[in-house]
Structure 1
């Protein structure tokens, strides 16, 4: 290594670039969504039992660290697959801006800190839920992506589990709110991901990932899965209405039912006409459905 290269590595610009790559490793957009669901679960728990605000904050910190670890180790495991796909080949590992060893160290350290943080601040239940989420995502979902299309089922469980961390970190008892919220997060992911998997089906095939649109190129079963899970969302989002009263009950039911029916309709259109346009429409609707549903849940508790 020349002295010029060594000097370059010490410049602020290079350090900033490396920091940016570490941020990319955490998949910040997904992390923000995960933290939003954890915060929502913590707030809903406060309507059922007394909750210390600090418990929600600690749940957010611990969950973020574990989620960051999962994202980093997922990319370490899939670095060769990511290099084959256009949309992922510029990630820090396939682009060789970061080394595998340092990413593994980063993932290991953040997992350990996140787990200890949860265990010492909000208790063993939240910590075990964090460990379970991490194991499912890193060591079950990630390897299954190249083996079977059912990987998305495991991924959906892992994707919904952070709300359990947010809820049980507060010490609140099990309630219809958390059952419904977990169910919504679990079911919502299927139409959402079928739209993504259809859009990038050729890249997934190049990467050796056995997503449902790759296994079934017609997209028929992807459409069936999207419609079935969107339909199951209807009773799931409506369940909390039974613990609400009067106008709030009917107002909540109307507010959550409308976007869910729109989501179902978008899934039906994707099934009827399986192409990139209907997949993009389904994806856009999915990105609206989740925040609208969560907002309705939060607002219903204010009345």
Structure 2
């Protein structure tokens, strides 16, 4: 009589193909640590810094450029992780954020703080050693302003969004400073562009998730604006300013028609969406805010790509 196998062939194949439990745990932890850095926002910060750097850096070499990219990435990631560490208890109150690593206890708050500080210090040190001290100073200022000023002020004043936008707009200046060209017109224009871009972007998010912000008692404009009209009007004003600032390089001859087309197209699309946001009735403002949010997500990469393409053409 042939003995029956203790384990079926299908079960054995599954066991052999599955990764070890320890490997799965490590990968999950790594994904959670990356999630702390808000990769999408960090990407935009690094992209604007790289654009300003690329417009000003001449003959500095790939090692210098790599140090700028890695240092800026670490500094931005550290600031954004610090924000999540600080707001871990408040994130539990909001549907939009309660699935983040800290609210669902996937990471300890001590690990998150250590990770945030390690990223921030590493980024500043890398920039100081391999690029310029001014770039390192701007990276440190970004971390302090975003992590230690903007974040606690979100519970105190509706103007915290503007303060956070200043911190978020520093990467282009960092990129210019890393290239030794802090006075570069491109860096300063991108600083203004990024500031004005962030405001309607975050106001649109704030209006779509206003109930969450109210639950966490954040007195930000979308949370205290019952009808949404003030939020829409401020968004319109910032979009109009964005369109004006972004077309300056083309208007004064610092950039060509490729950039001008990109600036008019991306800025015009956001302004049109902001106009619809203002004109919408209260019950239609969620859809209008979502259109503005999507236009902002697409608009900034289009503008930066047009700037780089303009330099190549």
TM-score, normalised via structure 1 length: 0.91
Cα gap change, 1:23 to 1:272, in 2 (>3 Å): same
After TM superposition, give the deviation of residue 249 of structure 1 in Å. Answer: 3.3
Alignment of 1:300 onto 2:300: no
1:260-299 mapped onto 2 (5 Å cutoff): 260-273=267-280, 274=282, 275-299=285-309
Structure 1 unaligned segments of length 5 or more: list them. 1-8
Distance in structure 2 (CA, Å) of the matches to 1:50 and 1:15: 40
Correspondence 1:39 to 2:46: no
| Contact 1:176 1:239 (C-alpha < 8 Å) held by counterparts | no
Give me the whole-angstrom Cα distance separating, in 2, the residues matched to 1:255 and 1:75. 34
Aligned residue in 1 for 2:14 = none
Aligned: 1:116 with 2:125 = yes
Structure 1 residue 266, shift from structure 2 partner: 0.7
Aligned 8 A contact 1:45 1:51 in 2: no
**2:142 alignment partner in structure 1:** 133
Q: Secondary structure at the match of 1:11?
A: helix
Shift of 1:109: 1.6
Superposition map of 1:179-190 within 5 A = 179-190=188-199
The yes-or-no answer on 1:255 pairing with 2:262 is yes
CA deviations 1:43-97 (Å, max 9, x no partner) are: 1113xx5543332221111111112211222111101100011121111111111
- Report if the CA contact (8 A) 2:37-2:80 is conserved: yes
Measured after TM superposition, the shift of residue 10 of structure 1 is 6.6
Q: Root-mean-square deviation (CA), in Å? A: 1.8
How far apart are the structure 2 equivalents of 1:173 and 1:17? 40
In structure 2, stretches of 5+ residues that fail to align are 1-19
How big is each residue's C-alpha offset from its partner over 1:127-180, in whole Å with a ceiling of 9 and x where there is no partner?
000010001100111001111110110111111111111111011251321121
Report the equivalent of 2:169. 160
Deviation, 1:296, is 1.5
Structure 1 runs of 4+ off > 3 angstroms? 49-53, 242-245, 248-252
What CA deviation, in whole Å up to 9, does each residue of 1:249-279 have, x standing for no partner? 3453233213212211110110111411111
Q: What residue in structure 1 maps to residue 12 of structure 2?
A: none
The Cα offsets for residues 172-213 of structure 1, whole Å up to 9 and x where unpaired, read as 251321121111111011111111000000011111212211
CA distance 1:201–1:113, shift in 2 (3 Å): same
- Larger Rg over CA atoms: 2
Alignment equivalent of 1:21, drawn from 27, 32, 37: 32
In structure 2, C-alpha distance between the alignment counterparts of 1:173 and 1:96, rounded to whole Å = 42
Alpha-carbon distance in 1 for matches of 2:55, 2:269:
25
- Contact between 2:168 and 2:194, CA under 8 Å: does it hold in 1? yes
Contact 1:227 1:267 in 2 (8 A): yes
Which has the higher mean CA deviation after the structures are superposed, 258-267 or 151-160? Answer: 258-267
Provide the aligned length of Structure 1 versus Structure 2.
291
Report SS of the residue matched to 2:157.
coil
- Whole-Å separation in 2 of the counterparts to 1:172 and 1:70: 24
Query: Does 153-162 or 27-36 show the bigger shift?
Result: 27-36
